[in-house]
Structure 1
Amino acid sequence: MSDYLTLLSFGPAGWGDEIARGVLVTVSLGLATLPIGLILGFLLALGINSKEPTIQTAAKIFTTIFRGLPELLTLFIVYYGGQILINLLLQKLLGSPVEVNSFVAGMIALAFVFSSYASEVFLSAFKGINQGQYEGANALGLSRFKTMRFVVMPQLIKLALPGLSNLWLIMLKETSLVSVIGLADTMRNTGLAARNTKEAFLFFAIACLVYLALTFLSSVGLERIEKRVRRGEARS
């Protein structure tokens, strides 16, 4: 037992520092990806609902591609393909190759996947808003922007929140995929500890506990947010 505590301790004798830094990277990656995925998913939903055929087709192609590709393959395409594209564009300007940051690549790849599914959640939420809401806002003389901000968005958030909460939990677990491109997240650091100490069960069990703890804390937080959003319904 004392040997296990030593391995998990902080300092040169243990792997506690590396695991803690990995957890910080995992949480940071998830939180950095979330707003990008939400905004892109919302724009994709607006694009699919657009009356402009070109915009509608482009949005549908985007969502079809990134819902159809495995997440790991998307990560490889963004990381390696993005590196090739950036080098082609900047080689003449800088004269030297540029390496794509693995954190940024992971964030972009996860945002593409998250947004493609989030767009479907937003589309379902849009369908849940009665057409009379738009007509009433128009009768009051509200502009399209004000209608979206004051009439549609409060209802949209309420309707989309359960689906988006599930997508967040899925994305939080999918952050473990970035370990394959060298990002020192929870999975990569626990894997390094397992290989170096030959205590695979111990460190992978720690990884399990970390992801379960993050999922539990997220679930509690999301439940409180949902209750706060729906507090008006409870009063009525």
Structure 2
Amino acid sequence: MFLHGYGPLLLAGTWVTIKLAVLSLSASFVLGLAGAAAKLSPNPVFSRLGTLYTTLIRAVPDLVLMLLLFYGIQILLNDATDLMNVDQIDIDPFVAGVITLGFIYGAYFAETFRGAFLAVPRGQLEAGFAYGMSSWRVFIRIMFPQMMRFALPGIGNNWQVMVKATALVSIIGLADVVKASQDAGRSSLQFFFFTLTAGAVYLGITTLSNLGLLWLEKRYSTGVRRAVL
């Protein structure tokens, strides 16, 4: 029998992993843009807050942050509900995973975007303002497309690491592909086989992601003249 009858369990876990990775990417993308804008802001308060965020988050291991955020927020919620004498509120592991991974990798995306923003020639932005464009239109029409061209290699690298980091959510009880493979391995006494299966799932996700990233690189490099060696 295919996968010893645990195929549906692994497929469900794979779908949870994909949803978790995509939603975490969206959250980290938004936080990354906000963090990069803060670090590049002339306002010293925003700049220091952005620097504190990226420095602190990148210095602490992902596993430690996952445990601190999940259990720390749950403890605060328990204390608050006890104080107000209301029913306990339990954090959904999926929501907690998305928020935690988005918060962690938002710091890495912030540095990626900051470097990409700095790589865009200032003269092109000044030309947009001189043409009469608003700040928002300059960002959408000039800054963002060129920034993405410089940021895509870093985005791809962060995405690959984030996909693998989704395995951490299994420690907070989320039924992702890692937890599904562990459950299948313990039940069938073929732990090594199902661990390899989980690894194959991650390899498949990252391989398909690479194809998408290559397409995006070509898309954002349209009209760019390549150097002749």
Q: TM-score, normalised by structure 1?
A: 0.91
| 1:113 lines up with 2:104 in the alignment | yes
Residue 124 of structure 2 corresponds to 133
CA contact (8 A) 1:63 1:117 kept: yes
CA contact (8 A) 2:24 2:101 kept: yes
| 1:231 lines up with 2:222 in the alignment | yes
What do the CA deviations read for 1:125-168 (whole angstroms, capped 9, x no partner)?
01111111222122222222221121111111111111101111
CA 1:150–1:164 in structure 2 vs 1: closer, same or farther (change >3 Å)?
same
- 1:1-236 paired onto structure 2 within 5 Å: 5=1, 8-9=3-4, 14-91=5-82, 95-233=86-224
Give 5+ residue unaligned stretches, structure 1. Answer: none
Secondary structure (helix, strand or coil) at the match of 1:123 reads helix
CA contact (8 A) 1:78 1:108 kept: no
Q: Distance in 2 between matches of 1:79 and 1:128?
A: 37
Counterpart of 2:66, as a letter, is L
Superposition RMSD on alpha carbons, in Å? 1.8
Counterpart of 1:204, as a letter, is T
CA 1:137–1:89 in structure 2 vs 1: closer, same or farther (change >3 Å)?
farther
CA contact (8 A) 1:176 1:185 kept: yes
Cα displacement (A) at 1:228: 1.8
Q: Distance in 1 between matches of 2:189 and 2:225?
A: 54
